[in-house]
Amino acid sequence: MKSFKVAVIVLVVFMMALFLVAGCAEEPAVDADAGAEEEPYTVNLAAKGWSENMTLGYMAALLIEEHTVHTVDTSKINMGPTEMLHPALVEGQIDIYPEYTGTSWMVVLGEEEIISDRMEIFEKSRDAYMEQFDIVMMEPIGFQNTFAIAMTPERVEELGVSKLSELADIPDLTFIGDNTTFTRPDLYLGLAETYGIDMDGINRVIVDTSFFYEALDQGEGDLTTLFSTDGRLKEYGFVVLEDDKNFFPPYDAIYVVRGEVLEKYPSINEALEPLLGTIDEETMTELNYLVEVQMEDPEDVAREYLESVGLL
Amino acid sequence: MTREVSVELQNVIKKYGQDKVVDQVSFSVEKGEVFVLIGPSGCGKTTTLKMINQLIPHTSGNILVNGTDVTKLDVVELRRSIGYVIQYIGLLPHLTIQENIAFVLKLTRHPKKNQKERAEELIEIVGLELNHLKRYPRELSGGQQQRVGVARALAANPDILLMDEPFGAVDPLTREQLQNELLRLQESIQKTIVFVTHDMQEAFKIGSRIGILREGKLVCLGSPMEIVKSEDEFVKNFIGQGALFEVFDTIPVSKILEKNVPLVHDNEKVDLTAEKLNDWENVFVVDSDGNCQGYIPLSSLEKDGSFQKDKINPLPKATFSDTSVKLAVEEMLWGGRTWLPVVDGHSSFKGIVQFRSCARLLDLEGR
């Protein structure tokens, strides 16, 4: 992406020269077929620092660069969690990043209302984002990456559980997680409240997020959170406990984009549209597997995928 | 003759907290062999496997791949240079098999002009038909999908394959076919394979050597026959009764073939002074083309070593040199015999196999 910067600078200088010659310093008018009239812009794209989010980030970047006059700066693709990305988006330091509806609803908007319907949570989040932040939440990409609580099949049999509501009755449980899982409202804290689990009464095993599954597999704890489209999940045969009180909201993957940017450059919207609604859980999991286990570069995987489905 | 070592573990330990899930495990895998790791649930076999490509980092000890310490290798290169096959196949559902393989080939930066040939080559290597390439994953059976999984792992032509219970999710018949396919594959492509299973029969069938793990420790290491001869109580319980016959089922009779049977041409006499005759009861009669006509008990020979044509007993039904010892023993029992003639693929007489030779197998090292 950085190699495009030189081209952009040359182009901008050239255009500035044109304006001086024409004696005109106004911004070009923006209308329905503004694609041809849009001034090349460098889109600041970011993502959370893990495989799926980065792959989705690169997909957006590649589509925008291929189908519009704009370039994309992906230097912040490894930026950080929602807590960093959202404020940066609101303040304009970044223009776009991939997010999840459930996270938007519970973490960003701080809503406590439990919504189980995917469409409903998307629409309500989308409307609130527009109203509160002037951020556009684009249509869902097509899959959910939900949180779930998992145990090994052996432990499930030992404890005789199948639902989260049964956990409250089991003393001395050990939860595996990292700092985020023990502090996010849509993870252990909120879960404990909904299901009546005393967080002071449980044991904590804190490991890096990339070791959750290994730690569970080795019996370091009784349960862990899992991310339903994780590539590495496929190495194990974990059992997911039923969320019988519907604590976890849906988590549809979406792109959130600064309203100002889409208004000015509608071609960005057009470039991303063909991708929306087309990626299912199976596909995303496999792409994640290639990045997480085979250690393929997320940008390569994003490019190969878009080429294979004819979007690039 | 020293063979090249592809993978070596030296005193490898994996700890989670104070808990040693892999405890001082050492073994080396020779180039081109199929090395099986097996043991009860929780014994550390999968953890051991995953430390080879560093999906799990080891706590201490050394792991060498082609002579180099894995911690000194770039993990991306390491991961890409070792094939990894698990039960999960992970095919992109909306692409054809060909497109799925091409996807992986492109990621490995395979030259574009050769991608189609390579995809076809890979498909045939794993025993699928070319027309499978045009199909979608959902149109393939579990066994067929698993073959595609192996094809993709072979795409970048790694020397080493790690396989973690890859055939666990298919029915027993398909599993047998896949095992046979793997053995056949090995004959042509000779990869170094480290294979984890919980199925002892599978281990005996495909393993050149087997390592049995218990609670993180390697308690037994050797060829199938060596494992079966182990005196260790745990090993004996683990492999179960009937293990000897399971191993016999993996050994072809060619291993205990008696080639040096006394032969006589149909127009000659038997040399009664030959020392060889002391060990035998019968002489085998061959014609000028080398085909065996039958056999004559020594007791039916004339005093000068000649014999009458009507004294020649027809050969019992022959067994092929690649038939397993177990099947040969069954045939002997059915026929009420203690020996069988052995022929090769062209039905040429090669010698005989005797029941008492099976005992010799228990003295053989390796296969």
Domain boundary among B215, B230, B250: B250
Residue B366 has pLDDT above 90, yes or no: no
Q: Is residue B367 part of a domain?
A: no
B18 and B109, same domain (yes or no) = yes
Residues B199 and B305 in one domain: no
**3-state SS assignment for residue B158:** coil
| Backbone torsion region of residue B8, taken as left when φ is above 0, otherwise alpha when ψ lies between -120 and 50, otherwise beta | beta
Contact: A294, B88; criterion CB under 8 Å: no
More confident residue, A14 or B234: B234
Q: B188 and B89, same structural domain?
A: yes
Percent of chain A with pLDDT over 70: 90
- Say yes or no to pLDDT of B212 above 90: yes
Best CA proximity match to B366, nearest among B221, B259, B196? B221
- Nearest of B251, B250, B278, B282 to residue B264 by alpha carbon: B282
In a domain, B229, yes or no: yes
From the CB of residue A91, how many other CB atoms can be counted at a distance below 10 Å?
9
Q: Is A235 on the interface with B (CB under 8 A)?
A: yes
B244 and B322 part of one domain: no
Helix (H/G/I), strand (E/B), else coil: B294: strand
pLDDT range class, residue A32, cuts 50, 70, 90? very low
Do residues B80 and B174 both lie within one domain? Answer: yes
Asked if residue B174 lies in contact with residue B124, where contact means CB atoms within 8 angstroms, the answer is no
Per CB-CB distance under 8 Å, the chain B contacts of A285 are 90
Q: Which residue from B minimizes the CA distance to A297?
A: B107
- Total domains in chain B come to 2
Give the span between the Cα atoms of B108 and B79, in whole angstroms.
Answer: 12
**Within a domain: B64:** yes
DSSP 8-state code for residue A222: S
Give yes or no: residues B153 and B282 share one domain.
Answer: no
Q: Which of A158, A208, A218 to mutate to test the interface with B (most CBs of B within 10 A)?
A: A218
The CATH number of residue B353's host domain is 3.10.580.10
Mind listing the pLDDT tens digit for each residue in B319-340? 888 899 999 999 999 989 899 9
Is B295 inside any structural domain? yes
Chain A, window 83-122: residues with a beta carbon less than 8 angstroms from a chain B beta carbon: none
Is some CB atom of chain B closer than 8 A to the CB atom of A234? yes
Query: Which residues from A are below 8 Å from B94, CB to CB?
Result: 283, 309
- B45, B179: one domain: yes
Domain end among B227, B250, B273: B250
* Model pLDDT, residue B270: 85
- Same domain for B244 and B269: no
- Residues B119 and B241 reside in one and the same domain: yes
The answer as to whether B164 is a domain residue is yes
Our measurement of the distance from residue A166's CA atom to the centroid of its chain's CA atoms, rounded to an integer in Å, reads 31
Tell me the pLDDT tens digit for each residue of A286-304: 999 999 998 999 999 999 9
Interchain contact A206–B (C-beta under 8 A): no
Other CB atoms within 10 Å distance of the CB of residue B345: 8
What is the CATH classification number for the domain harbouring B203? 3.40.50.300
DSSP B53-84: TTSS--SEEEEEETTEEGGGS-HHHHHHHEEE
Query: Residue B366 falls within a domain, yes or no?
Result: no
Confidence of residue A184 (pLDDT cuts 50, 70, 90): confident
B28 lies in the same domain as B161: yes
Residue B32 lies inside a defined structural domain of this protein: yes
Q: What ipTM was assigned to the predicted interfaces of this complex? A: 0.82
- Per the domain annotation, does B83 fall within a domain? yes
Final residue in a domain of this structure, among B213, B231, B250: B250
- Do B238 and B353 lie in one domain? The reply is no
Please list every residue in chain B whose beta carbon sits closer than 8 Å to the beta carbon of residue A295. 75-76, 79-80
CB < 8 Å to B164, chain A: 235
DSSP secondary structure string, A230-295? Answer: -SGGGGS--EEPB-TT--SPP-BEEEEEEHHHHHH-HHHHHHHGGGTT---HHHHHHHHHHHHTS-
Enclosing domain of residue B357 = 254-361
What pLDDT is attached to residue B364? 54
- Any idea which of A26-40, A191-205, B159-173 has the lowest mean pLDDT? A26-40
Question: Domains (ranges, CATH) in chain A?
Answer: 41-144+252-308 (3.40.190.10), 147-240 (3.40.190.120)
Q: Are residues B145 and B111 both part of a single domain? A: yes
Q: Say how many CB pairs under 8 Å bridge A and B.
A: 63
Residue A114: predicted pLDDT = 87
- What distance in Å separates the CA atoms of residue B185 and residue A132, rounded to the nearest whole number? 62
Q: Which residue has the tokens 């994996």?
A: B14
Residue A66: helix, strand or coil by DSSP? helix
Compare all CA atoms of chain B with the CA of A154 and give the residue at the minimum distance.
B41
Q: What is the pLDDT of residue A34?
A: 46
Q: Which of B22, B58, B94, B163 to mutate to test the interface with A (most CBs of A within 10 A)?
A: B94
Distance, CA of B115 to CA of B103 (rounded, Å)? 10
Q: Which residues of B touch A (CB under 8 A)?
A: 16-17, 19, 21, 41-42, 47, 50, 55-56, 75-76, 79-80, 84, 86, 88, 90-95, 99, 102-103, 106-107, 164
